[in-house]
Amino acid sequence: MSKVACIGECMVELKQAEGAEAGLYSRGYGGDTLNTAVYLARLGAGADYITALGDDRLSDEMIAGWAAEGVGTAHVVRLPAKLPGLYMIETDDKGERRFFHWRDSAAARSLMDLPETPEILDALASYDVIYLSAITLSLYSPEGRARLFAALNRARDNGARFAFDTNFRARGWPDLDVARSVFQEAFTAADIVLASTEDLLPLYPGVTNEALLARIPGAEVVLKLSEPASIVRLEGVPYPIKAKPVEAPVVDTTAAGDSFAAAYVAARLAGADPLEAARAGHRLAGVVVCHPGAIIPRAEMPSGLIPNHVHSRKASP
């Protein structure tokens, strides 16, 4: 089984309780790379989650929930007297979401500065794919990011592929010049870039899709568009991909990009070419947005998402 390391942060999630009066919320857990890890595990990839949590009951519940989904937790560091972060979701009548975060002292922010950090970073070389997002990179200090990028380069020298998701939240990047610099470093290091115009236009306003793609030097790049479509660029050649229309009502766009990334990476690991993988990503995302919250019920996972004819062979770099 192929192995994927997902690095990032999972937080306590508060969302409006279904059918409840205003002000009543249900509690769950979520985070962009954690959502991707869960969907990867459901799609048959061996996904491990790499993060730091506290020693509290909420952190215990998180780890138990990840294990129940088949996500590996061997590289989760537990920090005494620390807590996970918290976020609240508001959704409008079109399913678009707005996030409110309480996370400045969350345990995950310390991951690159711990006594356990060198061992965790050395372990990255044992994975087939290392997946993280711009939100992941926003958690760490410049020194922590430098340690992580150095480890990514060592892992790539050992045969791992680095997949970078441009998931951008302005709150995590108070200095946009720093954000642009970090993004460029990630673009240069990544083997696969999963980008979107929604993420990149706040950093590079007013530019065309072609200009956004030109900023990313990698050989395998997916640019998701504002409409249900994407552009897959392979070795400099762009290929437009149209998503099938979503027939059910869109109720919550949370984790649309996270689920796209999971289906894309899982399909590539199974042997699909990037165009097939992008179609799989669009299909899963189209199901996810029709359900509230980041993780849909397991029974609602679409069947046959990964093309059957590729299961027996591994994707080429």
Structural domains for the chain: 3-8+33-75+112-298 (3.40.1190.20)
SS3 122: helix
- Model-level pTM greater than 0.95? no
Q: What is d(CA 244, CA 238) in angstroms, rounded to the nearest whole number? A: 19
| pLDDT mean over 84-107 | 82
Q: What is each CA distance from 15 to 8, 29, 31, 119, 294, in whole angstroms?
A: 21, 10, 13, 36, 10
Per-chain mean pLDDT for the chain = 92
| Cα 298 versus chain centre, distance | 19
Q: Which residues are known to be catalytic? A: 258
Residue 138: pLDDT over 50: yes
Q: What is the pLDDT of residue 81?
A: 94
pLDDT digits (tens, 9 = 90+) for 22-53: 678 888 898 999 999 999 999 999 999 999 99
User: Average pLDDT of 85-106?
Assistant: 81
pLDDT for residue 273 is more than 70: yes
Which pLDDT score is estimated for 21?
62
Cα–chain-centroid distance for residue 242? 22
**Percentage of the chain lying above the pLDDT 70 cut:** 94
More confident residue, 269 or 316: 269
Q: In terms of pLDDT, which residue wins out, 93 or 38?
A: 38
User: What are the E-state strand segments in the chain?
Assistant: 3-7, 11-16, 25-30, 46-54, 76-79, 86-91, 97-102, 129-133, 161-165, 192-196, 220-224, 229-234, 237-242
Coil, strand, or helix at residue 100?
strand
The answer to whether residues 169 and 135 touch, using CB atoms and an 8 Å cutoff, is: yes
What number is the average pLDDT over the span 150-170? 97
CA nearest neighbour of 222 among 155, 273, 294, 161: 273
Q: What is the residue whose two structure tokens read 């070389």? A: 125
Tell me the sheet residues that pair with 54: 79
> Which strands sit side by side in the sheet containing 3-7, from one edge to the other?
76-79, 46-54, 3-7, 129-133, 161-165, 192-196, 220-224, 229-234, 237-242
Closest CA to 136 of 174, 165, 104: 165
C-alpha to C-alpha distance for 84 and 110, rounded to whole angstroms: 11
**Separation of alpha carbons 180 and 200, rounded Å:** 10
Average pLDDT over residues 3-8: 98
State how far Cα 187 lies from the chain centre: 15
Sequence-distant (6+) residues with CB within 8 A of 315 are 267, 268, 269, 270, 271, 272, 273
What pLDDT is attached to residue 18? 66
What does the pLDDT read at residue 311?
43
Evaluate if residue 10 carries a pLDDT over 90.
Answer: yes
